Structure 1
Amino acid sequence: MSDQGVIVRRARTEDIPGLVASSAGLFAEDGGTRDPAINVNWPREHGAESFAAAIEDPTRLVLVVDHGGQVVGHLLGSVTGPTDKRLVSSATLISMYVLPAHRRARAGAGLMGEFLAWAKGAGAEQVEVTAYAANTDAIRFYERNGFGPQLLTLRRTL
């Protein structure tokens, strides 16, 4: 996918520093502002190792949004086969982030399109994503892409 100077493509090992930075942006902007239990330093502490493993794992998808050789966004997804508990193959969109300056370039739509095509090709019968209830922009984006509510997690701080 290419639109307004951005390209969505599979991540490569040399993209790991950009993936870590993109993930750090997600943690700072999303979880870090909505969940005090989130370790906003996780991407910088563990992201490189995690992304390296994911790039090599055939059950995971790692995409980057490339703008002039710079990683300006990412998507991480996984697929699991049917189990005794869940009777269908399922793909999970684990994380997705695009730098604010590139959000109007349809990078999110490109990431989503690639993810859905990959999930279907991997045999997934359903796809799922979680979002913070307060992240109304993300929820609207996912709803525009055909997602609807399935579960509700309620939390109480002690």
Structure 2
Amino acid sequence: MTTEEDLTVRRARPDDLPGLVASSAGLFAEDAGTRDPIVDVGWPREHGAASFTAALADPARLVLVVAYDGEVVGHLTGSLTEPSAVRPVKSATLNGLYVRPAHRRARVGARLVEEFLAWAGAQGAVQAEVAAYAANPEAIRFYERQGFGAHAVTLRHVLGRKAEVEAGPNGQTDAVT
């Protein structure tokens, strides 16, 4: 079993791109791939390298990796939103977090979130937010343990076909045909 001491959390570098793409592909396959039929699970392999390259060069974005024996085994991406007339505060969004299953339970996810929150605060953000699928109660509990709380609910309606609504294990609903 991997221990907390075996894993390094650090800023991503350009030479981490292949590992970042693989980690992102793992996130898409495990999370959206099992919970959202509209998401293109091939996106990381097709567009991930360009997206991560742009993120590494953007001071308003954070890319962290989890390294184990020199290999990327997880990542976190975050971004800043500047104040606007509607929301007059700087905010930080945790866009994605993934740790390979073999390296979970070593507190590395919490370490990633701690680094993200420290970065957000240092950048002047006054709040941080993250979205999780309603059908992923493990992720919701994880983020709640990190201090996040429910704020908004996104509802979806599938257009162009008659849909039934089925309740999921947490009472969430997804339109199905």
Q: Which residue of 1 aligns with 2:158?
A: 157
Aligned-residue identity in percent = 66
Q: Give the superposition deviation at 1:156.
A: 1.9
1:11-90 correspondence to structure 2 within 5 Å? 11-90=12-91
Give SS of 2:147's match: coil
**Gap regions ≥5 residues in structure 1:** none
Query: Which is helix-richer, 1 or 2?
Result: 1
Higher relative contact order (CA 8 A, sep 6+): 1
Give SS of 1:4's match: helix
**Gap regions ≥5 residues in structure 2:** 160-177
Give SS of 1:151's match: coil
1:106-145 correspondence to structure 2 within 5 Å? 106-145=107-146
Give TM-score scaled by structure 2 length.
0.87
Give SS of 1:76's match: strand
Does the alignment pair 1:147 with 2:142?
A: no
Computed over aligned residues only, the root mean square deviation of the Cα atoms, in angstroms, reads: 1.0
Q: Which has the larger radius of gyration?
A: 2
Q: Give the superposition deviation at 1:38.
A: 0.5
State the 4+ residue runs in structure 1 displaced beyond 3 angstroms: none
